[in-house]
Amino acid sequence: MDTKFDFRDGKGPVPAHKHPKGGGWVADTAYVSETAYVGPNAKVYGYARVYDDARVFGNARVSGNAKVHGEAMVYDDAKVHGNAKVSGRAHVSGDARVSGRAMVSGSAHVSRYARVSGYARFSGYALVFDDAWVFGYAWVFGNAWVYVNDVVAGEGGKGVKRLYAFARKLFKLKGQDNGY
C-alpha cells in the first residue's frame, strides 16, 4: 500500500508514513530514527533528518534538509527548516523558527516568536524569545538572553558579532563593530 500525505508545502500529496514512535507523519524522503519521537500532530518532510533521542511534537514541523538530533526538542508550533541544525539538549518551541544554515545547540532555547536564521550560531544556555531575531553570522552563547524586539546580526568578512555570557542587556547591533 502506497500511503500519501499532503504536508501543505506546495508539493501536494507525497509518499509518507506514520512514525511508529508517536504516530506523526514522515515523508518517505525524510529520515527519522527508531529512537526518535514524532508526536501525532508533528510532521517531518523534505529531506529532513531526526535521529538519536530527538523529539518533535505538538504541531511542530522539521523540513527541507534540516537536522534535529541528540536530545533536542522541537515542539508547539515551531518550525526548523532549510539546512538548519538543532542538537544537544536545545529546545525550539512556541512559534519560533530556525532556518537557513543556523545552528542551535547545547541547552539553548529558542521560543515564542523568535527567529534564528542565516549562518547564526546559538549555543550554551542562551535564550532567544519573544520577537527577537538572531541572523547573519551572529554568535550567541553562554548564558546570554536576546528578547523582546532585539536584533543581533553579524556580517561575514567584518568579523563575527558575539553576545557574550551573562549579557542580559538589550543589544541593538547595526552593523558597526562595537568590540563584541
CATH of the domain at 73: 2.160.10.10
**Percent residues over pLDDT 90 in the chain:** 72
Containing structural domain, residue 156: 65-163
* Across 156-162, average pLDDT: 43
111, part of any domain: yes
146, part of any domain: yes
29, part of any domain: no
> Distance (Å, rounded) from C-alpha 29 to C-alpha 92?
23
176, part of any domain: no
pLDDT on residue 83: 98
State the chain's mean pLDDT as an integer.
87
90, part of any domain: yes
pLDDT on residue 150: 79
168, part of any domain: no
**Beta strands 25-27 and 13-18, pairing class:** antiparallel
Q: Give the model confidence (pLDDT) of 69-124 as tens digits.
A: 999 999 999 999 999 999 999 999 999 999 999 999 999 999 999 999 999 999 99
pLDDT on residue 1: 53
Phi-psi region of 157 (alpha: psi -120 to 50; beta: other; left: phi over 0): left
pLDDT of 129 higher than 60: yes
Domain count, the chain: 1
77, part of any domain: yes
What DSSP assignment string belongs to the chain? ---EEE-SSSS-EEEEEE-TTT--EEETTSEE-TTSEE-TT-EE-TT-EE-TT-EE-TT-EE-TT-EE-TT-EE-TT-EE-TT-EE-TT-EE-TT-EE-TT-EE-TT-EE-TT-EE-TT-EE-TT-EE-TT-EEEET-EE-TT-EE-TT-EEEE-TTS---EE-TT--S--B--SS----
* Across 23-42, average pLDDT: 98
Confidence of residue 125 (pLDDT cuts 50, 70, 90): very high
151, part of any domain: yes
